[in-house]
Amino acid sequence: MASNAPTFSPLYRQIKSLIVQALESGEWRPGEAIPSEQELAARFGVSQGTVRKAVDELAAENVLVRKQGKGTFVVSHHDPRQFFRFLRLVPDDGSLTQPQSVPLDCWRAKAGQEAARVLQIPVGDPIIILRRVLKFSGKPVVLDEIYLPGEVFEGLTLDTLKEWKGSLYSFFETRFGVRMLRAEEHIRAVAADRMAAETLGVKEGTPLLSVERVTYTYNDRPVEWRRGRYLTTQYHYHNELT
Amino acid sequence: MASNAPTFSPLYRQIKSLIVQALESGEWRPGEAIPSEQELAARFGVSQGTVRKAVDELAAENVLVRKQGKGTFVVSHHDPRQFFRFLRLVPDDGSLTQPQSVPLDCWRAKAGQEAARVLQIPVGDPIIILRRVLKFSGKPVVLDEIYLPGEVFEGLTLDTLKEWKGSLYSFFETRFGVRMLRAEEHIRAVAADRMAAETLGVKEGTPLLSVERVTYTYNDRPVEWRRGRYLTTQYHYHNELT
């Protein structure tokens, strides 16, 4: 077993970290199958049951996905089923059209106090700020302002963004190898400021949902901070409590 | 094995339904321990592994909770850890004070089209409507309007509500044997109407979070429909996406 495995945790947790390390290093890429439980058991020198327990947890966390009769795969943002994992806004009428992402602008800046704190980078480090609109059936419904650590997303430009046809997270995955694993959202009601009002085609002061999100990759490392404004007259944020 | 077990589903699922039936009938009550896996295996005539798989799923669904070295218990709304399972509103400053529920009024009505549809009862059936405020540190932050099926909550009055010191769901559990197992919420931003504005001490038109919830008990049976208005200037709705 690798000597850098963390101590004082159950064996399956140590195996889980080793699998995460391999994923993080890009040994198995999004959409690809990982080795069988038997092969992983041999590699790490543990029982298949221990590997299974580690894989169980990674599947529950949506890092891996088991496909019956086919094996275990690295979850990819290209999978259409992943799309609404991070976007909880759905039309009231129940229709399920894939929204279209329209980039508005993209510029470089230095991290201020707040961006530095949220992204866990030093104040003054390069960040990339981008704004985009999400259109549902051609109508603007979401205005997002997105803050990214410049080091991770080096080379991101408005043009490359505009050329991309899929979701933003599939773009991040393909171009920068960044996988979004989990996010925390803070949701409030706010009055539309002028920019949001103009972009979404409503009056200033219209109540909008403010969705502030921090998104994490492997090892709970924050790689995105975004502030969204959602117009919720014909759409709602759907949440399941269990 | 009981003859009324559903067919065409894996054995452990059938055992799961039998456990749910026993829970629903009140054989094991909230907060109480259920029999050991060995005893359940003997009772249902299946292996302990099958019982364990059924209990695993019920634990993942927050119906049962395993306590190390003590056994498996029926989850109760009296458990303080259950409190924020259904209330996702938290103070921005991170303080964790338990809010206080203040009942405002409670009256009887007949289900209209919408309440009947949501609660899956016939139009015209008795319902109970109650309004209450949630105060955080003495300040009103949430106004809830709650629709309940009259048959399930027979005998509920404003006085019995006012006497209760705990949460609404612990009241429902104790007085009516109703356990809330899961909920779906539709969240929007709306402008405060006069009643919400007066209750929450803000100007009419102030943006508020509208949280519409349908809550389900065993067998996905809806037993509550509520419309909440949350003041989110110093509080936010917290959500984790995984």
Q: Could you give the ipTM of this predicted complex?
A: 0.86
Using DSSP bridges, classify how beta strands B139-149 and B182-191 pair: parallel, antiparallel or unpaired. unpaired
CA angle B55, B60, B64 (to 5 degrees): 55
Which among B62, B187, B232 is the nearest to A236, CB-wise?
Answer: B187
Interface probe with B: pick from A58, A93, A239, A240, most Cβ of B within 10 Å: A239
Whether residue B223 sits in one domain with residue B106: yes
Q: Which residues of B109-146 are buried (b: 16+ CB within 10 A; e: fewer)?
A: eebeeebbeebebeeeeebbbbbbbbebeeebbbbbbb
- CATH (domain of A50): 1.10.10.10
Whether residue A63 sits in one domain with residue A137: no
Of all residues in chain A, the one with the smallest CA distance to B232 is A188
pLDDT confidence of residue B85: 85
- Contact status, residue B72 vs residue B33, Cβ threshold 8 Å: yes
A209/B209 touch (CB, cutoff 8 Å), yes or no: yes
Whether residue A67 sits in one domain with residue A84: no
Residue B145 has pLDDT above 50, yes or no: yes
Boundary of a domain, candidates A55, A74, A93 = A74
Q: Which residues of B touch A188 (CB under 8 A)?
A: 209, 232-233, 236-237
Of all residues in chain B, the one with the smallest CA distance to A233 is B188
Amino acid at B8: F
pLDDT confidence of residue B7: 53
Report the helix count and the strand count for chain B, using DSSP H and E: 8, 10
Mean pLDDT across B99-115 = 95
Q: How far apart are CA B43 and CA B65, in angstroms?
A: 21
pLDDT confidence of residue A7: 53
B233 backbone dihedrals φ, ψ, rounded to 5°: -75, -35
- Contact status, residue A223 vs residue A178, Cβ threshold 8 Å: yes
- CATH (domain of A169): 3.40.1410.10
Is residue A39, in this structure, part of any structural domain at all?
yes
Cα–Cα separations (whole angstroms), residue B214 to A233, B35, B104, B155, B224:
20, 31, 21, 22, 6
Q: What DSSP designation does A30 have?
A: T
pLDDT confidence of residue B133: 97
Averaged pLDDT of chain B: 92
Beta strands in A172-206 (DSSP E): 182-191
The count of structural domains within chain A is 2
Whether residue B100 sits in one domain with residue B148: yes
Is residue B160, in this structure, part of any structural domain at all?
yes
Q: Which residues of B touch A232 (CB under 8 A)?
A: 187-189
Whether residue B44 sits in one domain with residue B86: no
Boundary of a domain, candidates A58, A74, A90 = A74
Whether residue B84 sits in one domain with residue B44: no
Is residue A5, in this structure, part of any structural domain at all?
no
Is residue A242, in this structure, part of any structural domain at all?
no
User: B92 or A81: which carries more pLDDT confidence?
Assistant: B92
Which among B86, B189, B240 is the nearest to A209, CB-wise?
Answer: B189
Q: Which residues of B191-214 are buried (b: 16+ CB within 10 A; e: fewer)?
A: bbeeebbebbebeeebbbbbbbbb
A208/B189 touch (CB, cutoff 8 Å), yes or no: yes
pLDDT confidence of residue A22: 92
Which regions of chain A are under pLDDT 50?
Answer: 1-3, 5-6
Q: Does A102 touch chain B (CB under 8 A)?
A: no
Is residue B6, in this structure, part of any structural domain at all?
no
Is residue B1, in this structure, part of any structural domain at all?
no
Of all residues in chain A, the one with the smallest CA distance to B88 is A241
Segments forming the whole domain that contains residue B31: 11-74
Q: Give the other-Cβ count within 10 Å of B228's Cβ.
A: 22
Whether residue B148 sits in one domain with residue B46: no
Is residue B5, in this structure, part of any structural domain at all?
no
B184/A230 touch (CB, cutoff 8 Å), yes or no: no
Whether residue A130 sits in one domain with residue A36: no
Can you tell me which residue has the tokens 């003495």?
B138
B58-89 confidence digits (pLDDT tens) = 998 889 999 988 999 999 888 877 777 899 99
Average the pLDDT over each of A144-148, B49-53, B193-197 and give the range with the smallest value: B49-53
Q: Which residues pair with B221 in a beta bridge?
A: B217
Is residue A1, in this structure, part of any structural domain at all?
no
pLDDT confidence of residue B97: 78
* Sheet containing strand B139-149, strands side by side: A89-91, A235-241, B182-191, B207-217, B221-230, B139-149, B126-136, B100-110
Can you tell me which residue has the tokens 């996988």?
A179
Which residue, among B196, B204, B216, has the nearest Cα to B62 in the 3D structure? B216
- Contact status, residue B213 vs residue B119, Cβ threshold 8 Å: no
Which among A85, A190, A242 is the nearest to B241, CB-wise?
Answer: A85
Residues in B 170-189 with any Cβ partner in A closer than 8 A: 181-189
Whether residue B204 sits in one domain with residue B100: yes
Residue B155 to chain A, least CA–CA distance (Å):
28
B62/A190 touch (CB, cutoff 8 Å), yes or no: no
Can you tell me which residue has the tokens 């198995």?
A28
Q: Give the other-Cβ count within 10 Å of A60's Cβ.
A: 11
Boundary of a domain, candidates A51, A74, A97 = A74
Of all residues in chain A, the one with the smallest CA distance to B241 is A183
3-state secondary structure of B98: coil
Residue B1 has pLDDT above 50, yes or no: no
Whether residue A124 sits in one domain with residue A41: no
Whether residue A122 sits in one domain with residue A100: yes
Whether residue B40 sits in one domain with residue B116: no
